[in-house]
């Protein structure tokens, strides 16, 4: 069951910093539009205060997240730990581009801005964690589940959920 937090404390901040990557999720208002889920590296992420984080949106990929943020501001971040722990941050985001009055102030939080097309600032409205997915183990350790995998599809070392 998810546990809710009022703010990012030192323990949650340390957990965020310990992850090599995180995911951002956004969606348009129109139900015909595509939901976007993108991986990001935590080297581009800064905790600004107990209820605000920011990350660099780098050029090289699509700009779906920025488009959705400009349309409705909704954004979620998910950090997945090696032990299956999951931390989610939900909130209202702003895309601060280079011409924006806040760019210089926010940019001072980052050591390298190379390739940055925007700084995404998330004002957090919900923080939750959970135990996450069950641990992953190899097929060799899960004989009862092998009956569900067609014989021709089994391969040594293939990962399955425990």
Is the pLDDT assigned to residue 55 strictly greater than 60? yes
Q: Residue 55: is it exposed, middle or buried by C-beta count within 10 angstroms (0-12/13-18/19+)?
A: buried
Sort 24 into a burial class: Cβ within 10 Å, 0-12 / 13-18 / 19+. buried
Instruction: At 17, list the tokens.
Output: 């910093």
Question: Which residue's structure tokens are 């299956």?
Answer: 84
Pair 127, 138 in one domain: no
Provide mean pLDDT across the span 83-106. 95
Q: Which structural domain, as residue segments, surrounds residue 110?
A: 3-131
If asked whether residues 45 and 68 sit together in one domain, one would say yes
Q: Which CATH number belongs to the domain containing residue 120 in this structure?
A: 2.30.110.10
> pTM of the full predicted structure?
0.80
What is the pLDDT at residue 60?
83
Same domain for 28 and 48, yes or no, is: yes
* 21 and 93 both lie in a single domain: yes
pLDDT tier at 135 (50, 70, 90 boundaries)?
Answer: low
Beta bridge partners of 113: none
Q: Please say if the pLDDT value at position 35 is more than 70.
A: yes
Q: Does one domain contain both 145 and 112?
A: no
pLDDT at position 84:
80
Indicate whether 145 and 127 sit together in one domain: no
Residue 4: how many other CB atoms lie within 10 Å: 8
Tell me how crowded residue 115 is: count the other CB atoms within 10 A of its CB: 11
What's the domain count of the chain?
Answer: 2
Tell me the mean pLDDT in the region 112-132: 93
Same structural domain, 78 and 152: no
From first CA to last CA, the distance across the chain in angstroms is 19
Least confident of 36-45, 121-130, 143-152: 143-152
Task: Average the pLDDT over 3-18 and give the result.
Answer: 95
Kindly state whether residues 69 and 138 are assigned to the same domain.
no
pLDDT of residue 133: 53
pLDDT, mean of residues 81-104: 94
pLDDT at 31 over 70: yes
Asked if residue 90 and residue 162 are part of one domain, the reply reads no
Torsion of CA 30, 34, 35, 39, to 10 degrees: -150
Same domain assignment for residues 87 and 124:
yes
């Amino acid at each position: 069951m998810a546990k809710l937090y009022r703010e990012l404390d030192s323990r949650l901040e340390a957990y965020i910093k310990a992850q090599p990557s995180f995911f951002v999720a956004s969606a348009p208002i129109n139900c015909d539009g595509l939901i976007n889920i993108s991986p990001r590296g935590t080297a581009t992420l800064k905790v600004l205060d107990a209820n605000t984080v920011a990350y660099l949106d780098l050029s090289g990929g699509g700009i779906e997240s920025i488009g959705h943020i400009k349309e409705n501001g909704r954004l979620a971040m998910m950090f997945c730990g090696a032990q299956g722990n999951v931390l989610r941050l939900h909130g209202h985001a702003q895309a601060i581009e280079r011409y924006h009055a806040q760019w210089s102030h926010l940019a001072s939080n980052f050591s390298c801005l190379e390739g940055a097309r925007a700084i995404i600032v998330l004002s957090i409205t919900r923080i939750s964690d959970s135990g996450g997915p069950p641990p992953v183990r190899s097929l060799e350790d899960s004989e009862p589940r092998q009956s569900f995998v067609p014989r021709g599809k089994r391969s040594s070392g293939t990962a399955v959920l425990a």
